[in-house]
Structures are given as structure tokens and as C-alpha cells.
A and B are shown apart, each in its own frame.
Chain A
Amino acid sequence: MPTIEISLTDLEKLVGKKLPKDIEKLWEIFEYAKAELENLEGDTVKIAIEDSNRPDLWCIEGIARQIKGALGVETGLKEYSAKKSTYEVFVNKKLEKIRPYIACAVIKNVKLTDEIIKQLMQQQDKIDGTFGRKRRKTSIGLYDFDLIKFPLKYDITAPNENEFVPLTFTKKLTPTRILREHPKGIEYGHILADFKEYPIFKDNEGKILSMPPIINSNDLGQITEKTKNLLIEVTGTDYKAVNAALRIMALSLVDRGGELYNVKIDYVYRDNDLTPHLESSEKLLDANYVNKWLGTSLKPSEIINLLKKARFNANAKMDSEVEVQVPSYRTDIMHDVDLIEDVAIASGYSNLKPLPLELATTGGLPGIEKKANKVRELMIGFGAQEVLNFTLTNKETLFKNMDLIETPVIEIENPVSLLYYCLRNSLLPGLLEFLSKNTKKEYPQSIFEVGAIVKPNKSGSDEEKHLAYLSAHKGANFTEAKQALDLLLRLLNVKYKVVETEHHSFIPGRVGGVIVNDKKVGYIGEFSPQTLKNWDLDVPVVGFEVNLTELFENIKKEF
């Protein structure tokens, strides 16, 4: 889980209240902001943040906003607005097919400290990574406003034009070379891989601000303690997400005392826009629905107070209805249930007394599981040790070591290991592998497994439950395996036949097909010395495998 580090002093300054140093109490306070306190070392608080739908909480300012409400320092919706301006961005029409959306804001008179810059970078990184889907969906750029001449151009460039010095570099590079040589170009270049022209962000004098979503210019795109006024730009492929990302970044700086100005975006391929969007939205919430969902009996007035604590505005309407004003940064509120969780969190999960679940239902296992359990009991009674193997395996185990010709199996497209890249189509190979790892252990060894195997078909796969049994010792022979099979099928009351068959893993003439109701349900036999040699086994091994799914079709009795 990703973590962020914040300064407790900084947080206290933002909240406007001293916070307890006791770790348990601090943990509870952070819970209101869905932040898990990992540790507290000196002034540094390390918190793990869920990859949630609350990107507004991925920064210290957002956490402070939430905690202020929870502690009653400041409740209800905080109004944010942007001052009118003449700042304008013109968007090249070709970007519609490349990276169509842009949103900008200007922040003035903000006092940046080392700590605030650190937090800004952390927030930008986190939003680009998770919310922005590693910059594909959204990516953020920060610039020194005082070095830029408006209006700006969100433009396109040919790969070999518009050289500029990328951040942390000292010499000019073409976009092509940036993608090839700059670490960020290498990391994010794949986003632009399909295009012949790249996005480029320029000011009125043609100075380059950045090459979204890859890298800022070293000259204009650098924020230091001396920076007083900033431009924030977000580009991306999802209009809502682009605006959400801008809003979260901008509001952090407003909470730091900055003045917010809007920016006009001139599109050719869609209506012009004025960003950031800070309008709140309204929702009607029924107190009865809240109480039904949570199992509480809260009055509308109590719900209103809890919502205010969670930084919403709320007013009583007719009957049990509550009108809720949702702040613009709460993009996660899709449904009433999202508000209900906020009510629950504001009331404190530890204050929600658990209720007994009194719901009289009859429990039980499915028929196939019950029958499989009977089979396991019988095999244990027969003296076999139950084993549990992985369903993931490899073709060497399934085919080569079994002396079998390859047949199709379900393979993984993105395996991470050479040992585990396909699903088993039989249990016997796994059991022989098990024996091969235990050649130094006392014999006789007799083992079994009941488990799933999978075979591909045209539109997916067939899954079957199988049983396999092996016996390994100096005198192991066919009779012994057949005795076990006979015991099993006799006690399950299944009529069966064993017929001569061929199977390469076994000695010719010592292998049989198990037939139930004219269908082949399995194999039984003595493994060939070649198979045993492949597994480095030097004792005789006998055994069988049967398809329980098929076999159980013939058992009418319910267990």
C-alpha cells in the first residue's frame, strides 16, 4: 500500500489545534480521514492510504480539512471560489485524437516552504500514479507563473522540433530524444508511442512549459521557495478526472493561503471551458434509508450534524428528507450509500454497536462437496495420507515427466515463474512430484489428493473434481491399486469395469481404463520404469485417477 509522510507540526498548523501524541488516540483521529497511521517518529507521521476513490485525502491539506470537521474546529462545507481572470489557453484541434482535455488554474501569493513543496510533489506523484493511472488518464504540471506570458498554447509538435531543456537536465533535447534519454521519457513514453505528433505546452512567446504527460521544462516548470505565484495544469484523456485532479491540487494551495484565479480554455472540438470547477452539487438523502442501511435510528437532525462533521452542508427538508450539498472535490459521491458511509465514519465506527444477525437459515454443503468428503474419508480409511498441491504447474511436469504427448492446457499469458504457468489437467503428475521430493522418507508411502483440474474448450474451460491415489513401496503392484479402487467404488455403490487400455505413463499391459456407465472415468495402473526414472523414483509406484464429477453423476444417494 502506498504511504505518504507528513509533519505533525504542519498538520496542527493546518488544523488549527494541538493533536494528541498518544498513538492510539492519533490513530482514531486519522481514521476520520480514512488514513491508516503506520508510525510516528519524532514529528514525522507515516500514513498508509488506501487506493481509494478519495484522492482529496491523499495530501496533508485534505486530511486536515477532514480532521477539522471531525474535531469540530470547522464543520460544514467550505466554500471555494476562483477569481475571474483574463488568463487563456488555446488548444490545438489535433489534440482531440491525442490527449484531448486540459484544465488550468493560477494561484497567487502563496508562501512556499521546503515542507510545502515536498507535500505538493508527494501529492502530484500520488495523483499521477493512482488516480491518473500512471499519467495515462491524467497528469499534473506545476509552473512558475511569473516566468510565463499568457495566453498559452496547448499545442502539438513534431518529434524533432521544439527542443527544450527537460527538468533536471542541462542541455536542450528534441521530444524524440527526451523519450529515449530522459528517465521520465523512458518511464512514460509508452503513452505517446502510438502518435506521430506529441502534445506540447507553450507560452505566448513560444517558450516551452512542458511536454505533457512526460516532463516539464527545466526553465519554467520548476517550483522553489522563491516561487510566489503558480500555474497548475492538468492534461488527460478523461474530462471529469482531469478536472478532479486540478481541483484537488488547487484547493491544497488555497488551504495554504493562496488566491485562486480561473483560466479560460479555448477548444475547437468542444465548448470552451472555465477551470477549475468548484461548484458544489446537491443530493436528497432520506433518513429512513440511512437508518435501514446502517441499522441505526438517527433523527434527521443528527444526520445533518454528522454530515456537517464530514464537511458537507445539510438542511432538513420535508419529512425525513435531508438536502445535502456536496463539495466539488468529493467526486466519489455517486450514490446515497456514499453519503451513508460518511455518516457512519463521522459517528465513529467504534460507536456503532454491533447487532446480532438474527436470520434463521439452514446451512449446508453442496452435494458434490459432501460426496467428495465421503471419498476423502474412504481414502484415509484405506491408509492414504492426504496432500494438497498447487493447481498451477508446468508442461514438463504434466507431459514430459509423465512420458506423455502434449495436449492443450489452460496457459497463463502473463506468468511470473517458469514453474507455474499452466493449470493442471490431471492430479497424478503432482502426486508423483510429491513422491519424488520424499524419496528419503520411510516407505511404504501412500498418498491421495481430491482437487480440481481444468481443461480448455472452445469458449473457455471445463473444470472437474478428481481423485488420485498413489502407493509406492518395494512390493507395490497392480492388485493393490485395484483393491483401493474397488473398495472406493464398491462402498460408493457404483458399478464399474476395468478394461485394457493404453497410457504411456504406465507399463503396457498393466494399465486399465475405469468405466462407469459406459463412460471412461479414469485410469489405473503400474507406472512405467521410464516415468519413474523421469521423477527420480526408484521404487515401484501404482495408482489411479478418477473423475469424481463424472462418477458422482452415477450416485443417486444424497449424503
Chain B
Amino acid sequence: MAIKSIDMIAETLQDAEAAILQALKKLKKADILELEKATKLTADILARAALWLQNKDLITVEEEPANVVVLDRLGEEYVLKGLPEKCFIRACTDTLTLEQIGKKADLDKQELKFCLGYLKKKGMITFKEGEVQVTDEGKCCIREKTLEENFLDKLSKEKELEVSKLSPEEKHAFEVLKKRKEIVREIPRKVRDYVITKLGLDVAEKLKAMPAMVGVLTPEMIKTGTWQTKKFRRYDVTAPVPGIYPGKKQPYLAFMDEVKKELVAMGFEEMTGPLVESAFFNNDALFMPQDHPARGIHDIYFVKEPKYGNLSKYKKYLDKVAEIQEKGDDESTGWQIPFSRQESSRLLLRSQTTAVSARMLINPALKIPGKYFTINRVYRPEKLDPTHLTEFYQLEGIVVGEDVNFRQLLGLLGNFAKKIARTDEIRFTPIAYFPFTEPSVTAYMKHPITKKWIEVMPAGVFRPEVTKPLGIDVPVLAWGFGFDRLFMIREGITDIRQLFSSDLSYLREAKI
């Protein structure tokens, strides 16, 4: 960095900095108290400005050991209620016994003893036959402050005073008070002295000749045009600034918004369904036999109360679903196991978003041809760990159309890989089974970093045993997968719990 000219340095100085330099030009060396006196600025402003000056090599700081005096335990008390001798005299409005005075002035035995000796010596009281009387001298003294009192007042204001810099009067008061117990205390300290440098002196010299520098540009200046005659202080544009935290989307939800936008652009409409679902939509309508192992308590959360929902609205479909499962039809043998309608009305927390697709198929708003998707929560009885959540998101979709087919489904999955997961490397395998699709397929994608094939997208064509009872007589392509993993892969997240992070710093700093 080029050495800045004295002019330029002078133009960067803030008012407080300039004030310190001006003061030090005279004093050459000063501590913070002296600077306060010279600049009329507060200690914290001075300390900050001094640091800036130090960074610009305009001043240096010398730290020297020095003794300072501070208030001690009784000193703090006396500052508030007065020195004992003062309290003593004030209390003596009448002729009182020592005991009465002690009570009135709130003094303990030791203090009373001291006062008696001290005041008698100074001729401020007389003490006869156990009774105390204040002399004229004493009365006079009530109104006047002693050197000690002045010293204590100052000390209370300044908190500490450097012993070597005390005035002769203060010095005297200090010596006197030091002999009394627990009023003042002398302690070693490091004292900072600010010393102006050669460069500082040059800059200070320059300041004299310069017009007042402007910091903030005000509307007033703009309106009146006075800015033309002013000089703007130069700012240090390289200096760091404190961070700010404006409102921001949650990172995972932001990703979800992006994917939704992508899907909408591809012609998909979003579909929705409830979190508390019936076994009918979650399982039965999907041709999952009622004794299917994935319908048990290890795979599904069941609702405690109410246990059963009301399916009367769906009776038409329920009848047909029951029939295809129990007896089959002219095309299918069905499962040929008993179907319980009560089991079908069992309430549970949705365990797969395919339930949403089943609901869409009976929705009067369904369009044929039509493309639908949902990104929604599902629940599984899992303990939370880096790879499991008990509630998480699935991305699910269907394509309904007279002429849609399995190879188009493969094409669609390839398209998702490109648009959503941003990879061209995809392979399809038949290692997949779902009671509701046939043929089924699992798409594998190559992990962008590990280069391993990872299973991401199970899909298939809905079985006629699913679609026909729901009143659909055209093929339906279906796909669904764990949405969380897609985001984790893209962001390099290894702990799934981070998706629901309650760490405000992460949310504030998450890159967009």
C-alpha cells in the first residue's frame, strides 16, 4: 500500500481523532483523564478514537505501572452518608450522652471512640460528665467541607486517581485517610499514556490549516448547497463492518420452492392431502393387503384417539377396494384374504405420500390427461439419528393419461434426474416391489462426489387393481422418493437432522 500523504491522513480523521491530536500537540503525553479534560469528550469515545489513531501510527501508547487510590469498603459507605465525625457533630443538636449520639448518627463503638478523640483534639466539642457539647468552632465546621471530604467526593466520581498526579491538598487528604481503616486503598495499576508521534505532530499541524471536515452528508447541506464549500472526511472503505441478519427463507424450504418451480414449469400441478390419514388412503386404496408387514406398528404411527375415522363419504370407493382385495375381478385374482372395513377406517399419521396420489385420483378436479406432484411430510416410528427422522419429506407424483406408458415413465425419471438432481448418470433396475405398481422400477443415480450408484427414485405404473376401484380407467404413472436425501446430496449435508435445524446461526449464514 502506498504511503498516504499527510493531507489524506488528515482528511480521514473523525472529530474525536482530530480533538485528541490537537490536545496531544500541546500535552505531548496524556492519560485518558487528561484527555477528557482537554477535549471534553467521554472516556469511551476517546478510547475508541485513540485506537484508530494508534492504527494510523499517529500516536503510541505507553503503559506504565503506577499506584492508584480507590475507595475501600467504609469509604464507599462514607461517600453516601458522610464521614463519622461529620455525622457525630450533626447529631449533637442538644446535649446528649455518647450512647444517644451513637444511636442517632448510626455509629458503632469504634467510630464513636475515634470521633471523640478527633473532635476534641480539633476543639470542636467538649466532653463533660458523660455529655457532649459542640463548640462554636464545631458548629462552623458543619457547613464546610474538609479536604478529606473533597478528596472522597472526587474519588467517588473518578473511581480511581493516580497517586503520583495528586495535588498537594489531595495528597494531604489521602495521607490522612490512609491512616484510618478501610476508607481508601492504594493499589498497583498499569496506566496508559498516549504519546503523539512525529507523524501525528505533522498531521496535527496540518489540521490547523484545514476547514472543518464533514462526516455525514445531511439533507440540509444538499438543499442549501453548503456542501460545495465543505470538505468530506475520507472513510476507510477497507474496514470490516458488523454483520446484519435480514429476513431469509429457511434453506431446505428454499430448495423445496425451487424444485416446485421446476415441476410447475414441467406442467405439474401440486396436490395436497392431510397429515392424519385413514388406512384406506394410506394402504387399502393402494392395494396393500391388510396383513402386509409394512402396515404394522413398526412402520406406521397410529392415532390414539379417535381411533377410527369416518369413511362414509368414500363408501363407493371403499366397496370396490374391498371387493378387489377379497375377490378380485375378471382381470385380477385379488389377494383373496378377508378385508376389514374397520381396519380401513383406522386413523394414522400418513406414512407415504402415495396416499395423496390416491386422494387425487378420486378428486373431481382431476384432469385427464394430467400431471400432479406433492412434496409433503410423512411419519415413521424411528428414533432420531444422523440418518433417520421420525417425520420427513417425500416427493411424489402421478401422470394420468390414455397413452402414457412405462418407457415414458423412464423418460420422465431421466428428466427429473437432469432438472432436479442435476445429473445425466441414471440407470434403471427392476429391483423394486410395491403392492401398487407393476411394472416397478428403481432409478439409481451416480453420487456427484462418491461416484457410487445410489438408489433414489422408485417408480412404476399403478396396478389396475389400484386405479379401477378409484374410477380411473387409463394408465397412471407414479413415482415417489425421499426428498430429504436429494437436498442432502446437493448441499453435502451428512446429518439429516440439519434439515430441521434449530441453530439460528446456521439459518442466518446458510448460503443461498
Q: Which residues of A contact B (CB under 8 A)?
A: 31, 34-36, 50-54, 130, 133, 137, 238, 240, 292-296, 334-338, 340-341, 344-345, 349-350, 352-357, 359-366, 368-369, 373, 376, 379-392, 408, 410-417, 420, 423, 433-434, 437-438, 441-442, 445-447, 452, 454, 456, 458-461, 463
With a CB–CB cut-off of 8 A, which chain B residues contact A362? 267, 269
Question: Does A336 contact B331, Cβ atoms closer than 8 Å?
Answer: yes
Distance between Cα atoms of A296 and B263 in the complex (Å): 27
How many whole Å from B351's CB to the nearest CB in chain A? 12
For B504, give the chain A residue with the smallest CB separation: A438
Question: Does A380 contact B390, Cβ atoms closer than 8 Å?
Answer: no
How many whole Å from B497's CB to the nearest CB in chain A? 10
Question: Does A293 contact B405, Cβ atoms closer than 8 Å?
Answer: yes
Which of chain B's residues 274-299 have a Cβ closer than 8 Å to chain A? 274-276, 278, 291, 293-294, 297
Interface segment, B33-41, B83-91, B242-250? B242-250
For B270, give the chain A residue with the smallest CB separation: A365
Distance between Cα atoms of A461 and B273 in the complex (Å): 13
Question: Does B304 contact A357, Cβ atoms closer than 8 Å?
Answer: no
Is B482 located at the chain interface by the 8 A CB criterion? no
Question: Does A361 contact B305, Cβ atoms closer than 8 Å?
Answer: no
Say which residue of B249, B291, B399, B408 sits within 8 Å of A376 (CB atoms): B249
Question: Does A437 contact B379, Cβ atoms closer than 8 Å?
Answer: no
With a CB–CB cut-off of 8 A, which chain A residues contact B427? 350
Question: Does A341 contact B270, Cβ atoms closer than 8 Å?
Answer: no
Is B367 located at the chain interface by the 8 A CB criterion? yes
Interface segment, B132-140, B155-163, B409-417? B409-417
Question: Does B276 contact A359, Cβ atoms closer than 8 Å?
Answer: no
With a CB–CB cut-off of 8 A, which chain B residues contact A423? 275-276, 349
Question: Does B274 contact A461, Cβ atoms closer than 8 Å?
Answer: yes
Question: Does B249 contact A416, Cβ atoms closer than 8 Å?
Answer: no
With a CB–CB cut-off of 8 A, which chain A residues contact B464? 335, 337
Question: Does B247 contact A382, Cβ atoms closer than 8 Å?
Answer: yes
Say which residue of B248, B384, B477 sits within 8 Å of A386 (CB atoms): B248
Knowing A335-B438, A350-B427, say if A366 contacts B270 (CB, 8 Å).
yes
Distance between Cα atoms of A461 and B264 in the complex (Å): 30
21 examples of A-B residue contacts, CB within 8 angstroms: A133-B293, A294-B406, A335-B438, A335-B464, A338-B438, A344-B406, A344-B430, A353-B410, A355-B408, A366-B269, A373-B257, A380-B246, A388-B500, A390-B500, A411-B303, A413-B297, A415-B381, A416-B390, A417-B384, A456-B306, A460-B310
Interface segment, B53-61, B180-188, B333-341? B333-341
Question: Does A341 contact B430, Cβ atoms closer than 8 Å?
Answer: yes
For B463, give the chain A residue with the smallest CB separation: A337
Say which residue of A52, A382, A392 sits within 8 Å of B390 (CB atoms): A392
How many whole Å from B411's CB to the nearest CB in chain A? 4
With a CB–CB cut-off of 8 A, which chain A residues contact B274? 461, 463
19 new A-B pairs (CB below 8 Å) besides A361-B269, A388-B500, A391-B275?
A31-B429, A53-B435, A294-B406, A334-B332, A335-B463, A335-B465, A337-B463, A353-B407, A354-B414, A363-B265, A363-B266, A376-B249, A380-B249, A382-B247, A386-B247, A388-B252, A392-B390, A423-B349, A438-B505
Distance between Cα atoms of A467 and B250 in the complex (Å): 14
For B401, give the chain A residue with the smallest CB separation: A359
Distance between Cα atoms of A106 and B269 in the complex (Å): 59
Knowing A292-B405, A295-B407, A363-B266, say if A416 contacts B382 (CB, 8 Å).
yes
With a CB–CB cut-off of 8 A, which chain B residues contact A363? 263-269, 371
Question: Does B302 contact A412, Cβ atoms closer than 8 Å?
Answer: yes
With a CB–CB cut-off of 8 A, which chain B residues contact A441? 504-505
Question: Does B276 contact A361, Cβ atoms closer than 8 Å?
Answer: no
How many whole Å from A401's CB to the nearest CB in chain B? 15
Is B387 located at the chain interface by the 8 A CB criterion? no
Question: Does B297 contact A34, Cβ atoms closer than 8 Å?
Answer: no
How many whole Å from A101's CB to the nearest CB in chain B? 13
With a CB–CB cut-off of 8 A, which chain B residues contact A433? 502
With a CB–CB cut-off of 8 A, which chain B residues contact A337? 438-439, 461, 463-464
Question: Does A357 contact B430, Cβ atoms closer than 8 Å?
Answer: no
Question: Does B293 contact A130, Cβ atoms closer than 8 Å?
Answer: yes
Distance between Cα atoms of A258 and B404 in the complex (Å): 47
Q: Which residues of B contact A (CB under 8 A)?
A: 245-250, 252-253, 257, 260, 263-272, 274-276, 278, 291, 293-294, 297, 301-307, 309-310, 328, 331-337, 347, 349, 367, 369-371, 377, 379, 381-384, 390-391, 399, 401, 403-415, 427-433, 435, 438-441, 461, 463-465, 475, 477, 499-505, 507-508
Distance between Cα atoms of A345 and B390 in the complex (Å): 35
With a CB–CB cut-off of 8 A, which chain B residues contact A412? 301-304, 349
3 pairs of A and B residues whose beta carbons are closest in the complex: A295-B405, A295-B407, A52-B433
Say which residue of A130, A373, A387, A442 sits within 8 Å of B507 (CB atoms): A387
Distance between Cα atoms of A363 and B373 in the complex (Å): 10
Knowing A51-B293, A357-B408, say if A349 contacts B332 (CB, 8 Å).
no
For B409, give the chain A residue with the smallest CB separation: A357
Question: Does B502 contact A437, Cβ atoms closer than 8 Å?
Answer: yes
With a CB–CB cut-off of 8 A, which chain B residues contact A458? 306
Question: Does A364 contact B411, Cβ atoms closer than 8 Å?
Answer: no
Distance between Cα atoms of A238 and B297 in the complex (Å): 22
Question: Does B382 contact A355, Cβ atoms closer than 8 Å?
Answer: no
Distance between Cα atoms of A31 and B427 in the complex (Å): 12
Question: Does B303 contact A352, Cβ atoms closer than 8 Å?
Answer: no
How many whole Å from A305's CB to the nearest CB in chain B? 18
With a CB–CB cut-off of 8 A, which chain B residues contact A410? 276, 303-304
Question: Does A365 contact B260, Cβ atoms closer than 8 Å?
Answer: yes
Knowing A357-B412, A359-B369, say if A296 contacts B247 (CB, 8 Å).
no
With a CB–CB cut-off of 8 A, which chain B residues contact A438? 502-505
How many whole Å from B114's CB to the nearest CB in chain A? 46
Distance between Cα atoms of A385 and B270 in the complex (Å): 25
Question: Does B438 contact A340, Cβ atoms closer than 8 Å?
Answer: yes
Distance between Cα atoms of A295 and B504 in the complex (Å): 51
Say which residue of B268, B304, B307, B408 sits within 8 Å of A356 (CB atoms): B408
With a CB–CB cut-off of 8 A, which chain B residues contact A293? 405-406, 439, 461, 475
Say which residue of A51, A294, A353, A446 sits within 8 Å of B405 (CB atoms): A294
Question: Does B433 contact A357, Cβ atoms closer than 8 Å?
Answer: no
Question: Does A420 contact B431, Cβ atoms closer than 8 Å?
Answer: no
Say which residue of B245, B390, B399 sits within 8 Å of A442 (CB atoms): B245
Say which residue of A386, A392, A460 sits within 8 Å of B379 (CB atoms): A392
With a CB–CB cut-off of 8 A, which chain A residues contact B475? 292-293
Most buried by A among B276, B390, B430: B430
With a CB–CB cut-off of 8 A, which chain A residues contact B399? 357, 359
With a CB–CB cut-off of 8 A, which chain B residues contact A442? 245
Say which residue of A384, A452, A459 sits within 8 Å of B275 (CB atoms): A452
Question: Does A51 contact B303, Cβ atoms closer than 8 Å?
Answer: no
With a CB–CB cut-off of 8 A, which chain A residues contact B264? 363-365
Distance between Cα atoms of A362 and B440 in the complex (Å): 27
With a CB–CB cut-off of 8 A, which chain B residues contact A389? 500, 502
Say which residue of B270, B405, B414, B508 sits within 8 Å of A369 (CB atoms): B270
Question: Does A240 contact B336, Cβ atoms closer than 8 Å?
Answer: yes
Say which residue of B309, B349, B404, B463 sits within 8 Å of A359 (CB atoms): B404
Question: Does B309 contact A356, Cβ atoms closer than 8 Å?
Answer: no
With a CB–CB cut-off of 8 A, which chain A residues contact B293? 51, 130, 133
Distance between Cα atoms of A208 and B465 in the complex (Å): 45
Question: Does B406 contact A295, Cβ atoms closer than 8 Å?
Answer: yes
Say which residue of A352, A361, A366, A454 sits within 8 Å of B370 (CB atoms): A361
Question: Does A454 contact B310, Cβ atoms closer than 8 Å?
Answer: no
Question: Does B304 contact A390, Cβ atoms closer than 8 Å?
Answer: no
With a CB–CB cut-off of 8 A, which chain B residues contact A452? 275, 377
Question: Does B253 contact A356, Cβ atoms closer than 8 Å?
Answer: no
With a CB–CB cut-off of 8 A, which chain B residues contact A240? 336
Question: Does A238 contact B337, Cβ atoms closer than 8 Å?
Answer: yes
With a CB–CB cut-off of 8 A, which chain A residues contact B367? 361
Knowing A335-B463, A360-B267, say if A352 contacts B406 (CB, 8 Å).
yes
With a CB–CB cut-off of 8 A, which chain B residues contact A341? 430, 438-440
With a CB–CB cut-off of 8 A, which chain A residues contact B406? 293-295, 344, 352
Distance between Cα atoms of A345 and B275 in the complex (Å): 36
